[in-house]
A and B are shown apart, each in its own frame.
Chain A
């Protein structure tokens, strides 16, 4: 709808203050990086990138200048003569980015831009994407299903559920103070405990919890529940411990690999402890 391929059934879309609801895609100052890039297979990288400027009937010297500049920026100058089929996944992604950015759109849409790449390349390109965004100063609107990617890339993060925005804000705020249990569960792992008053829940992230064998020492700033370990998953730098609390509710705790309790086994009964002040209260 933002790119103009679908019409909203109601409401308006404004771009830089102008109503563009009825504007067809080829007259909108918005460009898209498609999920599978949609690079034109019969054109070279250079001609792919030049497609937008030529559509706008810019003079050929100006086209050459703009295309050369943007290819420099995404570091593809050497590969300009190649066809998309001769590029690696990461290079294709950068070519698609250049093809969209060369038009200096008011906003750039990216539809799961990194989902087609293998995980190792993904984190490199996340950095690359941020660098290019900072250099161009163009707003990027990124759609992703990868929560970690969303947290890592965004300045503002919107969580959508069934077509409605549940929450919008800086990533830290969305993670630490979600507005609903849906957001809390969607972004990262969440432990939701009864709030005690029947109308609220307490959110605790797995890394805010710790395990100990003895009952709680008399520290008034902390709380604890007794729970039994059901599964331990080794994840490299950390361990994910799943437990059942005494009242039956599931809990998940993330431990540093070198934590004193890292040797915990499934079936053991332990105490799960947290700082009372760390819990975020959600009203149901």
Chain B
């Protein structure tokens, strides 16, 4: 390739990445803005005020905390159940194998709106009042598929003869599970948990259908465009971004260490 072509390619790649990350940069930038009205959309001046009082917006903070506890509950349930499913699937060669895997993939491939509408339909039919409980149920459900499939992929590389070795060395089944099986599964469980957590945290469609009167973070932000966009929204979004980058860095770092 000629030098000019190489430069053009670099420029093109730069543009693509720029476009991809520009909105995120704007979010971070506007967390330092000093807005004049109720809408933090036009740059006025630099301030640290928003970062000093990140929880000033009461309703926003409530929505954020609700989302965090929802994500925690749903990903715990999904990780435990999904992990058990994956272990069961990887160790047995039953005839139901294919059917179960199909059922696992189905929620991922079908449009989210279908799942959301049918869940709402179901909750109404069985007369289950919508609220935090139905949110946890719905989120656990769609996270379960991701968690189980993530675990299943990780289990491919697990050497089950290590369990036999532990038993051979006199470990009871309980000790074998605690000392050997669980540490072997830990990376997969962590991956499944983090994936479930982030999926639950930013889910809008399913939450909108199953939340009832409860307001979670994405619902609040969507609603904010009609009332008020406080700079605290940008602060919290930046916090979430920082946590994500931190976790990513941690993951890459531990991979380098091996």
Contact = CB atoms under 8 A, between A and B. Distances in A.
Contact of A42 (B165, B173, B176, B184): B184
Given A26-B172, A51-B179, A55-B175, A40 B165 contact: yes
Contacts of A3: 164, 168
B170 A42 contact: no
Contact of B161 (A27, A38, A55): A38
A25 B184 contact: no
Interface residues of A, number: 24
Interface in A41-78: 41-42, 51-52, 55-56
B171 A38 contact: no
Contact of A25 (B168, B183, B258): B168
Contacts of B258: 85
B177 to A, nearest CB: 12
A8 interface: no
B181 to A, nearest CB: 11
A15 B258 CA distance: 42
Contacts of B170: 26-27, 52, 55-56, 103
B162 A40 contact: yes
A36 B169 contact: no
A38 B167 contact: no
A110 to B, nearest CB: 12
A44 B159 CA distance: 17
Contacts of A40: 162, 165-166, 180
B183 A26 contact: no
Contacts of A24: 167
B51 to A, nearest CB: 40
B168 A51 contact: no
Contacts of B166: 40, 51, 55
A34 interface: yes
Which 6 interchain pairs have the tightest Cβ spacing? A38-B165, A52-B169, A55-B170, A25-B167, A55-B171, A38-B161
19 contacts: A3-B164, A3-B168, A26-B168, A30-B168, A31-B168, A31-B169, A36-B161, A38-B159, A38-B164, A39-B165, A40-B180, A41-B162, A42-B183, A51-B171, A52-B170, A55-B172, A99-B169, A100-B169, A103-B169
Interface of A: 3, 5, 24-27, 30-32, 34, 36, 38-42, 51-52, 55-56, 85, 99-100, 103
